[in-house]
Amino acid sequence: MQRMTLFTGVVAAALTLEAQTKPSYQLPFPAGDSARLIQGNNGPYGHEGHAAYAFDFIMKIGSPVVAARSGIVVATEERFRDATRKPGEENFVIVHHDDSTYARYYHLTTDGAVVDVGDRIRAGDTIARSGDSGASAGAHLHFDVTRDCFRWGCTTIPVTFANASPDSLVPGRYYHARAVK
């Protein structure tokens, strides 16, 4: 009996590790599109401390933003104008996933949310239009993921993308979103 418990524990630990390392997100722009990553994890401009794990993709104002994973929309903000450069005036969409993680999509354009709170969305669905709202140095999409908390100050967590090259997304490179099978 002791052997079976130990074996079961080892198998469960291996499955947990696989679940943690298997890419479960898609790039937050449509399959077939490309975007340049201007800042990634532990970047010098706001991607530090609680916000260390985040990605900034250059996207023209009005470009489609897609859900990186399926879930339920729990919060939106879309009343702020582009190019104000004012912290706290970021437009956003936040999606809650079944595993208690939240994807956060920031700097959307005015009236840029195309979903409503309570909507169930699938990975790849268009959820918003990119913009330049709030504390932004130019038009781009800020994407990050948190666990058990989605407000400002929540700790971001590392993620990988199933439809991107296997590197850890290097700033300065362009990424092409492949269709997920």
Alpha carbons 123 and 181: distance in angstroms, whole number: 12
CATH number at 2-174 = 2.70.70.10
3-class secondary-structure state, position 31 = coil
For 112-156, the pLDDT digits (tens) are 999 999 999 999 999 999 999 999 989 999 999 999 999 888 999
**Best CA proximity match to 91, nearest among 55, 38, 127:** 127
Alpha carbons 54 and 57: distance in angstroms, whole number: 10
pLDDT given at position 167? 61
For 52-71, the pLDDT digits (tens) are 999 999 999 999 999 999 99
List the end-to-end C-alpha distance of the chain, in Å, as a whole number.
41
Single-letter code of the amino acid located at 119: D
Q: What is the pTM (predicted TM-score) of this model? A: 0.86
Single-letter code of the amino acid located at 150: F
Q: Are 76 and 93 in contact (CB under 8 A)?
A: yes
Q: Are 134 and 91 in contact (CB under 8 A)?
A: yes
Spell 52-63 as b/e; 16+ CB within 10 A means b.
bbbbbbbbebeb
Q: Are 46 and 152 in contact (CB under 8 A)?
A: no
Q: Quick one: 68 exposed, middle or buried, by C-beta within 10 A (0-12, 13-18, 19+)?
A: buried
What does the mean pLDDT of the chain come to? Answer: 88
3-class secondary-structure state, position 20 = helix
